[in-house]
Amino acid sequence: MTPYLSIVVPVYNEEGNLDNLMGRLYPVLRGMGHPFEIIFTDDGSRDRSLEILKRLAGEYPEVRVIEFNGNFGQHMAIMAAFEISRGEIVITLDADLQNPPEEIPKLVAEMELGHDVVGSIRQNRQDSFFRKSASRLVNITTRKMTGMRMTDYGCMLRAYHRNVVDNINRCCEASTFIPALAQTFASSPSEVEVAHAERSEGESKYSLYKLVRLNFDLMTGFSVVPLQLFALTGIVTALGAVAFALFLMARRFVVGAEVEGIFTLFAILFFFIGVTIFGIGIVGEYVGRIYQEVRRRPRYVVRRVHGGSDEG
């Protein structure tokens, strides 16, 4: 029987959470009375996560586990699960219980009103102050740069209609940000408020570096505004330089030759060198990504799929 709901969970070193997650998720799904499937992607965990997942796949016929060859990141883990998902409605969920599984019926109800993507907004988000401020900044700049209307980009408890998932599956981009990608295919997106809990076990899998990389993916993947802003800065600087040159020329006539203020000049020069290097960096980000895309290497490598009919 083809499932109505597909639940997709990326897992990276979550050994302490998986049994709890399953214990809460399963009753919720049973209670909804539709056929469902749960797809876990083990994103190259180095703890006992895979072992636990394989056990779950053996215990529950609805569970399938994709085993990755290494760590390819949360979004690739979700991509891989999307590809084998069959449900009419596909729901993504974090493994750390920060998104309560009990909110799933709310998302499904909203989908059944005819929306094709239902996002979520975290009510009193339980993360560190630093993490929240970083997210706020990302949400604002992303909205400005991509022009997409989404309140909370980071919350992964989301529902997607089969059509949207099929479209996402047709994209072969190597670095991506799934909520934003889905938004580009959505014809009638909606959002609901969901509760948010503290991470129940373990710690965040996103280091500052990984977080910055992810936001570059979001920025470069969905907008060329950074390039345009940089070109604009260049134009403004050039105009400023012309004005300054005219001013210096006028002074030359009024005051005569002068050599003071050389360090001020250095300071200004260093500033612009900084801006230039920054600009080259932005261009480099895009060029690097273009290079990544044209090589067409596999985005992730699946070692095996456990459970379900794919068991070999």
Least Å distance between CB 83 and ligand UDP?
A: 16
Listed ranges 67-75, 218-226, 259-267, 298-306: which one lies at the site for ligand UDP (CB under 6 A): 67-75
Which option in Mg ion, ligand UDP, none does residue 205 bind, with CB closer than 5 to 8 A by kind?
Answer: ligand UDP
Query: What's the token pair of residue 75?
Result: 């979004």
Least Å distance between CB 47 and Mg ion?
A: 16
Residues 6+ apart with CB under 8 A from 294: none
67 binds ligand UDP (CB under 6 A): no
What are φ and ψ of residue 175, in 5° steps?
-125, 130
Q: Is the dihedral of CA 230, 232, 235, 240 positive or negative?
A: negative
Interface pick for Mg ion out of 74, 98, 99, 215 (rule CB under 5 A): 98
- Compute the distance between CA of residue 72 and CA of residue 91 in angstroms, rounded to an integer: 20
Question: What string marks each residue from 193 to 232 as x (binds ligand UDP by CB under 6 A) or -?
Answer: -----------xxx--------------------------
Strand order in the sheet with 158-161: 189-194, 117-122, 158-161, 89-92, 5-11, 36-42, 63-68, 302-306
Q: Which of 60/206 has CB closer to ligand UDP?
A: 206
Q: Which of 116/218 has CB closer to ligand UDP?
A: 218
Number of chain positions touching ligand UDP (CB under 6 A):
16
Least Å distance between CB 206 and Mg ion?
A: 8
Residues 6+ apart with CB under 8 A from 37: 3, 5, 6, 7, 62, 63, 64, 85, 86, 87, 308
Least Å distance between CB 67 and ligand UDP?
A: 13
What's at 261, amino acid-wise? G
11 binds ligand UDP (CB under 6 A): yes
Q: Exposure string (b/e) for 123-150, b if CB count within 10 Å is 16 or more?
A: eebebeeebeebbeebeebbeebbebeb
120 binds Mg ion (CB under 5 A): no
User: Which spans of this chain sit near Mg ion (rule: CB under 5 A)?
Assistant: 94, 96, 98
User: Which spans of this chain sit near ligand UDP (rule: CB under 6 A)?
Assistant: 10-12, 14, 43, 71, 73-74, 77, 94-96, 98, 204-206
